[in-house]
Amino acid sequence: MASKYENNPAIKNFVEYLKIPSVQPNINYDECVAFLTKQANSLGLAVKVYEVVPRKPIVVLTWPGKDPKLPSILLNSHMDVVPVFEKSWTYPPFSAHIDDEGKIFARGSQDMKCVGIQYLEAIRRLQDQGVQLKRTIHISFVPDEEIGGHDGMKKFVVTSEFKALNVGFALDEGMASPTDEFIIFNGERSIWQIHVHCTGQPGHGSLLIPNTAGEKLRYIINKFMDMREQEKKVLDSNPKLTIGDVTTINMTQIYGGIQSNVVPEKLTVVFDIRLAVTSDLDKFEKMVQKWCKEAGEGVTFEFEQKNPMIECTKTDNTNPYWVAFKSAADALNLKLDRRIFPGGTDSRYVRGVGIPAIGFSPMNNTPVLLHDHDEFLKADIFLTGIDIYEKIIASVANV
């Protein structure tokens, strides 16, 4: 461990959390729960563990505010991390090795164990100063975000236990920024994953049989990929747009057939689609129905995932929490770049029940390495993030 940081208590907590291999799939979250319970005890915070789904704990630490009747602030992060290809890492991915430049190498260092610890350390500092905030703060650590959050935040937000938290505003993850700007996210595209099934006349591979599954499959692929090309042109033509501002379409799977010389009776193609927040979802679905009809008889589609359109969080004077967030950022001279998140986070479930949420990971001048080999976060960036959260948490909790 780089000697400069080895005795820093916040870094020690971060390293301890990173060393817990809460890696998908089939995670045992017991070690995370024990670690977070220990953190709650050190901060004198109440801790509750909810299991909406068995073995999928949701850990909530609570710091009561001066006026607990007011809507509370939720600080959310997820405990799980994505798998690793260990041979491609310079240091073992759960060693939390700190090199001479202060880079902390570990899966989860950016996505997103950093933020969970930054919340706790910011609260520790506020407590040390004798600060008591107006609103109650709940710090939630949820499971399974990396596989869609279906047994985590998605189910939690509709429970009576969540409603009892009386959340008025939430913070969740963002992502690193390679420039000196900090990126904040106020919305997410709708994730649709579609399986298009093409059936047709089977037969021998030496013949030119009419009405085959392959011909229909080609038609469908062309339609989706032509639209992909159009969206790419829109993105490339306007430097102000980011990937979250357009609809992305990617062909991710093709399956079917039984052997090389048999024309199959069925082929299936899968598309991962992220619909821009400006999209008309009904219109898009009708267009897919039309393409299937045009492709020929026996072409159908089904959804693996079909997220509804969820309203973006307002970033204007109508949202007092945003005003408080922005004023704290301005006081710190932070340059903010507001975007639509390109992927999916648990914020979509929070926004889906009508709670405004901002995605923010205070990591500027940092390469984007979430889900990548050699994921790292520099110790000084991590520590600066605690300074930032200290001001932002105090600001939004005193609205």
pLDDT, one tens digit per residue, over 336-394 is 999 999 989 999 999 999 999 999 999 999 999 999 999 999 999 999 999 999 999 99
At 6, the pLDDT band (50, 70, 90 cuts) reads confident
* Known catalytic residue at 372: no
Which amino acid belongs to residue 315?
Answer: T
Select from 306, 324, 351 the last residue of a domain: 306
At 136, the pLDDT band (50, 70, 90 cuts) reads very high
299-322 tens-digit pLDDT: 999 999 999 999 999 999 999 999
If asked whether residues 123 and 151 sit together in one domain, one would say: yes
Average pLDDT over residues 191-196: 98
HSE-CB for 376 with a 13 A CA cutoff:
19
| Domain-located, residue 4 | no
At 4, the pLDDT band (50, 70, 90 cuts) reads confident
If asked whether residues 172 and 54 sit together in one domain, one would say: yes
Residue position matching structure tokens 């509709």: 158
Largest CA distance in the chain: 82
Number of folded domains that form the chain: 2
| Domain-located, residue 169 | yes
Average pLDDT over residues 286-309: 97
Residue position matching structure tokens 């709670």: 355
Q: Cα–Cα distance between 179 and 350 in angstroms, integer?
A: 29
pLDDT of residue 153: 98
Residue of 111, 145, 151, 173 with catalytic role = 145
Strands in 99-247 per DSSP E: 103-105, 137-142, 167-172, 182-188, 190-199, 203-204
If asked whether residues 289 and 326 sit together in one domain, one would say: no
If asked whether residues 92 and 123 sit together in one domain, one would say: yes
If asked whether residues 213 and 254 sit together in one domain, one would say: yes
| Domain-located, residue 2 | no
Average pLDDT over residues 81-87: 97
* Known catalytic residue at 145: yes
Residue of 80, 144, 151, 172 with catalytic role = 80
Q: For residue 329, what is the DSSP state?
A: H
194-232 tens-digit pLDDT: 999 999 999 999 999 999 999 999 999 999 999 999 999
Q: Look up the CATH number of the domain holding residue 27.
A: 3.40.630.10
If asked whether residues 171 and 33 sit together in one domain, one would say: yes
If asked whether residues 125 and 16 sit together in one domain, one would say: yes
| Domain-located, residue 249 | yes
Q: Look up the CATH number of the domain holding residue 259.
A: 3.30.70.360
If asked whether residues 79 and 92 sit together in one domain, one would say: yes
Full residue range of the structural domain in which residue 218 is found: 190-276+278-306
